[in-house]
Structure 1
Amino acid sequence: MYSKAVSQVLERERKTKPTLIQERTYDAIHNGASLVGLAKTGTGKTLAYGLPVMERIDEIGGRGVILEPTTELAIQTRNNLLPYAKALGLKTIALVGAGNRKRQLERLKKEKPEIIIATPGRLFDFLSENRIKYQDINALVIDEADDILEFAKLDLLSSLGQNLSSTAQILLFGASESEVTKNAEDLFNHTFLLVDVRPEQKSEVKHYFLQVSNEYKMQFLQRLAKLDKFKGILFFDSTETEMRFARIFSHSKTKFAVLSNETSKQNREKLLSDFKAGRIKFLFATDLAARGLDLPDVSYVINFEIPSEVNTYLHRSGRTGRMNKSGTVVTLGDDHDFRNLKKLLAGTYQIERAYFAGYSLTTEKPKSKKVEAVEKKEHKKVEKSKPKHKKKRWRNKKNKGYHPRKSRGEK
């Protein structure tokens, strides 16, 4: 379904079969329709909107703008789309707040890139100064639409969509519904198609709950880190809790790295590289620091405490089981937390209690030592009560021996 140039890159990257969201949205996007695309995290949404948008821009001209909530996501998206853009002869640029503004402006003027991946602050900055013109934008993609309101005001997003030409397409992609996706037609004054493939997407991710009090969480996490094929991310609700626990956990022999909002760009790149290469197998992170990161082969996602929102749990769990691989999500807490978690995720995920069984987790509750001792005693009693098998004595039936009473005929 893709152009020859794009298909060649897909073959090189061994992506021969499109995912469900890619297959269902391609024709509509390529033909210029505005669309809301909903799919589970880690199922190929970036290529679902990126490839048909770039092919369309290559055909009709103009610019495609992809709006990402964070700097890391914007750079990651640019890197993912770069080989396909080059194959189509399109230039790309990432406009982020963390970058040098002057250099970004120079590149915009000199290179005139057709594909712009930007964070909200820098995009609205350049639009307000007319460095990027509304009439040049033929496609606007708002990625992570379920989280974008944390980084951009609703009225700014609305004005952005309404200032585009009537022929420009607007694409909203996310893992869950939000105010933006539900009210898209009123906000942007466009007609939208809805493509929701979440009910059809099979998941190989198991959702477990490990009962543990705060004082024993360190020991439990050390045991988790020793499980077979462990490569995990431990999520915290705040940087403060993350750093406090990291100081405690540093006394253990388990090797780990800390990814927080305070991590410098250089250190961040190094530890992510080490984690991807498998030199580090345990990563501590906050939601903001790890948002949208595509980290391959993560086998475990662990919640240090219960997430406050379903959306937070959904995005965390999306770090494992990507592209239909297997994975495990483990939440730590007490019995009260287990009840709250089940209420929070009712109708979304099936949560099971889990227990350690050697170097793996099981849903079968292990027998207590008292029960095992009682069972052993009962087993011994049963063994004793069984009648012992007596050997039959061999007797010669022909010669029964002399019996005085019988020989006299006495009774």
Structure 2
Amino acid sequence: MQFKEFALHTDILKALEKLHYEQVLPIQEQVIPEILKGRDVIVRSRTGSGKTASFAIPIVQELIWEEREPQAIILTPTRELALQIKEDFDNIGAYRRIKTVAIFGKQPYKFQIQDLKQRAHVVVGTPGRILDHLERETLKTGHIRYVIIDEADEMLNMGFIESVQSIFNYFPGNKITCLFSATMPQPIQELAEGFMKEPKLITLSEETTVNAAITHYAYEVKEKQKLSFLKQLLCKEQPASCIIFARTQEGVKTICDELYALDMCVDKLHGGMLQEDRIGNIRDFKKGKIRILVATDVAARGIDVLDISHIINYDMPNQKETYLHRIGRTGRQSASGVAITFINEYDGERKAELEEYLGYPLEIRKRGEISNQDVTKETIEPLTKPFALREDKGKEVHKDTMKLYLNGGKTKKIRAGDIVGAICEIQGVSAEDIGVIQIQDNQSYVDILNGKGKQVLKALQQGTIKGKKLKVQKAKE
């Protein structure tokens, strides 16, 4: 099946083509028509199935560009996933000039409020921060048409369900609600029953099924031997791109420091890091600048990289469901992958619970071949550099877009209309060439579309906006 069979807007089809969405995935084939028909859906599907596009495509199709207040809210359990979903909306909605705002904790309210005061078609964020804005009345809900609960089972595990329930009290009754979850425990079913109207249940896989494209097995390793065994395993496997999961922030730091001391191409990700460092490390891992990422379970959601070759569970997860989400970082969208778990002398109960959950015993491999692996300069050397740099999947979509920086904003009484007016006075440029505009206190940003960035940049540098001479330059990435 092809995307054009959904009768999508040509601007969406153009974006999908440039994003290399070549075939409709099973989840998209079932979910997109239901959302377009205005029906509530409950989708049970494992991670990596292409679900974000299954709700982003129909929402972008139905959004009204002229409406300034949010029309869709997507609730996610983590900041990383919120940013990932924002990126997907930015890419799919690029030619429709859709503005998506991501809001989450450990980020200043001030800038979030500024973004929400301007045109924002889609808001994606974590439940706590979304609820905060609703209580402060800085997030308007009068025009909400779509509410998406993504990774609902992780919301439950992280204790967000009460916040989600409170959030629904702010929404109008004529909305479309969609719930996505890899597993469907009883509290999630009760949540759906309370807020959804005769939803259609779409099940794409048994909730405890491991993707057939993933080869997963385990080694029994004593806790004190895990670090040395990990080094031997990496030298043996030579992973092209790998995430190592540890249970604690301290564990992440210890592993990362050990591998970094060997000059391996490695960095870390955990909740105790500064937000800009977390975002930077995820970006570098996606681009391939980082070959090995050592992470807590914040990375079990929100890292969408098609060619992660290996997942290593250095520590077994506390939650049996987390096993599926961790290893689901590999084997995405029909790609193959390997997931390896270390089981120490204290993991007997976790192992038994996981095997009961999966319905079969974990494959335990003998350590001999790995334990005999030498950790030498020759075996480490390939792991000291990136395997291959990846292109940003949205690069092709945004290649004709230039973001401009202007050193004037609200304090200079600059409004979006002033910027639009100045740009539309440029010969050969129209409102259709203007994308997202962000007005902050002392600066503004505007996306110029259709390859007209250089022309607009030159004209604005020579002219004025609202009678004021502003510094205008290409924005830094």
TM-score by length of 2: 0.68
Partner of 2:43: 37
The residue type paired with residue 328 of structure 2 is: G
Shift of 1:13: 1.3
Whether the aligned pair in 2 keeps the contact of 1:209 and 1:338 (CA below 8 Å) is no
The residue type paired with residue 34 of structure 1 is: D
Cα deviations by residue, 1:33-73 (Å, 9 ceiling, x for unpaired): 11111111111111111111221233996611111222222
1:316-395 to 2 correspondences below 5 Å: 316-334=326-344, 337=347, 340-346=350-356, 348=358, 351-355=362-366
Whether the aligned pair in 1 keeps the contact of 2:179 and 2:192 (CA below 8 Å) is no
Unaligned 5+ segments in structure 1 are 362-411
1:89 and 1:292, CA in 2 relative to 1: closer, same or farther beyond 3 A?
Answer: closer
TM-score by length of 1: 0.78
Whether the aligned pair in 2 keeps the contact of 1:229 and 1:299 (CA below 8 Å) is yes
Bigger drift between 100-109 and 340-349 goes to 340-349
Identity of aligned residues (%): 27
Residue of structure 1 aligned with 2:165, choices 158, 164, 187: 158
1:229 and 1:349, CA in 2 relative to 1: closer, same or farther beyond 3 A?
Answer: farther
1:141-290 to 2 correspondences below 5 Å: 141-150=148-157, 153-188=160-195, 190-199=197-206, 203-226=212-235, 227-252=237-262, 254-290=264-300
1:302 and 2:308 correspond: no
Whether the aligned pair in 1 keeps the contact of 2:65 and 2:97 (CA below 8 Å) is no
Whether the aligned pair in 2 keeps the contact of 1:85 and 1:92 (CA below 8 Å) is no
Shift of 1:201: 8.9
The residue type paired with residue 55 of structure 2 is: Y
Partner of 2:124: 117
The residue type paired with residue 365 of structure 2 is: A
Whether the aligned pair in 2 keeps the contact of 1:145 and 1:180 (CA below 8 Å) is no
Bigger-Rg structure (1/2): 1
The residue type paired with residue 287 of structure 1 is: D
Partner of 1:136: 143
Q: Measure the CA separation in 1 of the matches of 2:352 and 2:57.
A: 39
Shift of 1:189: 5.3
The residue type paired with residue 51 of structure 2 is: K
CA RMSD between the two structures? 2.9
Whether the aligned pair in 2 keeps the contact of 1:210 and 1:354 (CA below 8 Å) is yes
Shift of 1:188: 1.4
Unaligned 5+ segments in structure 2 are 1-5, 373-477
Q: Measure the CA separation in 2 of the matches of 1:202 and 1:182.
A: 24
1:253 and 1:102, CA in 2 relative to 1: closer, same or farther beyond 3 A?
Answer: closer
Look up the SS of the partner of 2:130 in the other structure: helix
Q: Measure the CA separation in 1 of the matches of 2:137 and 2:280.
A: 37
Q: Measure the CA separation in 2 of the matches of 1:262 and 1:71.
A: 13
The residue type paired with residue 92 of structure 1 is: T
Q: Measure the CA separation in 2 of the matches of 1:98 and 1:147.
A: 20
1:63 and 2:71 correspond: yes
The residue type paired with residue 354 of structure 1 is: R
1:85-104 to 2 correspondences below 5 Å: 85-104=93-112
Whether the aligned pair in 2 keeps the contact of 1:218 and 1:249 (CA below 8 Å) is no
Whether the aligned pair in 2 keeps the contact of 1:36 and 1:181 (CA below 8 Å) is no
1:273 and 1:105, CA in 2 relative to 1: closer, same or farther beyond 3 A?
Answer: closer
Whether the aligned pair in 1 keeps the contact of 2:40 and 2:199 (CA below 8 Å) is yes
Bigger drift between 318-327 and 343-352 goes to 343-352
1:38 and 1:334, CA in 2 relative to 1: closer, same or farther beyond 3 A?
Answer: same
Partner of 1:18: 24
1:183 and 1:59, CA in 2 relative to 1: closer, same or farther beyond 3 A?
Answer: farther
Look up the SS of the partner of 2:329 in the other structure: coil
Look up the SS of the partner of 1:352 in the other structure: coil
